[in-house]
Homo-oligomer: A and B are copies of this chain.
Amino acid sequence: MIIYLAGPDVFLPDAVEIGRRKAEICAAHGLTGLYPLDNAVNTASADASLTIFKSNEAMMESADAIIANLTPFRGPSADAGTVYELGYMAGRGKLCLAYSNDPASYANRVARRQQVLAAPDGRLIDAEGLTVEEFGLPDNLMMMHALDLHGAPLVTPAEAPADIWHDLACFDACVRLAAARAQRQPGFN
């Protein structure tokens, strides 16, 4: 089974090292991990972003599954690029797995960052008056239920680890889920 390793990990100072560790964990379970940064693109070139997009899309096409790191990134939700890729893989009918190293509910996470209150009509709203989804889910319902129905429920820790960007325990749990699936469906190789 070939797995596309999506996540804001590519933005870490030690992005290459994290990718190497993730690919090693996959290999230890007989799986192949494809990490976006494998495409060492010259970011100074004029069409660097398009080159990265095409390379990532081709990698997703070649993969049987995705393991997405949905740890909140610069806001209460996951990294937009990672979320796009999760949606794309769901649309392509691939196996969708994901983890988040922040176990808080989405509503609690919004409340950490700004005042949240109950509107007269009963909705939970933010400072702008926009509804805050409060289904007790860790992130937007579209992503959470996509995982439930197209793969496995989001993997989260009981408590956030000390280093949310480098702790790979939940990633490891996703790889084990993928390996179990590969064993049940020998079509994956």
Interface residues of A, Cβ cutoff 8 Å to B:
8, 10-13, 15, 48-50, 52-54, 56-57, 73-81, 83-92, 110, 113, 119, 121, 123, 125-126, 128-133, 135, 137, 139-146, 148-149, 165
Residues on B with beta carbons closer than 8 Å to the beta carbon of A83: 80, 83-84, 87
Residues on B with beta carbons closer than 8 Å to the beta carbon of A12: 129-131
Residues on B with beta carbons closer than 8 Å to the beta carbon of A13: 119, 121, 123, 125, 129-130
B8, B52, B77, B91: which contacts A90 (Cβ < 8 A)? Answer: B91
This protein's copies in its complex:
2
Residues on B with beta carbons closer than 8 Å to the beta carbon of A76: 74-75
B56, B77, B129, B145: which contacts A142 (Cβ < 8 A)? Answer: B56
Residues on B with beta carbons closer than 8 Å to the beta carbon of A10: 131
CA–CA, A145 to B132, complex, Å? 29
CA–CA, A90 to B87, complex, Å? 8
Question: Across the two chains, which residue of chain B brings its CB closest to A61?
Answer: B91
Report A36 CB to chain B, min CB distance, Å: 9
